[in-house]
Structure 1
Amino acid sequence: MSKPDLDDLRRILHECAGAAEGVNLDGDILDTTFADLGYDSVAMLETGSRIEQEFGIKLDDDAVAAGTPRELFAIVNASQLRA
């Protein structure tokens, strides 16, 4: 089972909610908050659902509360270990 990488996350974020004006998803965004990137809880719900669908991962509700991409990847990795 593969796991999403940063490029996958960028694509999924863009597909689910677009990109906020003035936000560059191509930079180093691992420690940038999703709020600073322009994504709210609704966008994160959609992102979590898309990750589950595309990668066959069952995420806990914590995934929506992830503050940064790095935190989201930690949740994804923990979910894969439990599977």
Structure 2
Amino acid sequence: MNLKELTTLLRDCAGVDEGVDLDGDVLDVPFDELGYDSLAVLQVTGVIERDYKIQLSDDTVAEATTPRLLLEFINEQLGAAPVANAA
């Protein structure tokens, strides 16, 4: 999974706050600064788990405070390469 796929899911599942540019360099911006609380992130990870048939623990999701961290956990479960840049 890449950043574009993740930001699309964020928009679709939880919307987007005014003034937040999810198309910018947001890999290391905390989810709360992007306008997403833990419930929104859980909602998105639920969709990812269902669609990609993976399982992420609640502790793992709680540790994923930025898109980069969440993508690393997701891609680890998928057996994909680590996230390098905004790809």
Aligned residue pairs total 78
TM-score normalised by length of structure 1: 0.85
Q: Are 1:45 and 2:42 an aligned pair?
A: yes
Aligned identity (percent) is 44
What residue in structure 1 maps to residue 61 of structure 2? Answer: 63
Q: What is the RMSD of the two structures over their aligned residues, measured on CA atoms?
A: 1.2
Query: Where has structure 1 moved over 3 Å in runs of 4 or more?
Result: none
- Tell me how far apart the structure 2 counterparts of residues 72 and 14 of structure 1 sit (CA, whole Å): 16
Structure 1: tracts of 5 or more residues without a match: none
Q: Distance in 2 between matches of 1:70 and 1:64?
A: 13
1:7-63 deviations in whole A, cap 9, x for unaligned?
Answer: 110110001110011100000110011001000011011011011112111112112
Task: Measure, in 1, the Cα distance between the counterparts of 2:73 and 2:38.
Answer: 16
Paired amino acid for 1:54: D
In the aligned structure 2, how far is the partner of 1:19 from the partner of 1:77?
24
What is the CA–CA distance in structure 2 between the aligned matches of 1:71 and 1:77, rounded to whole Å? 10
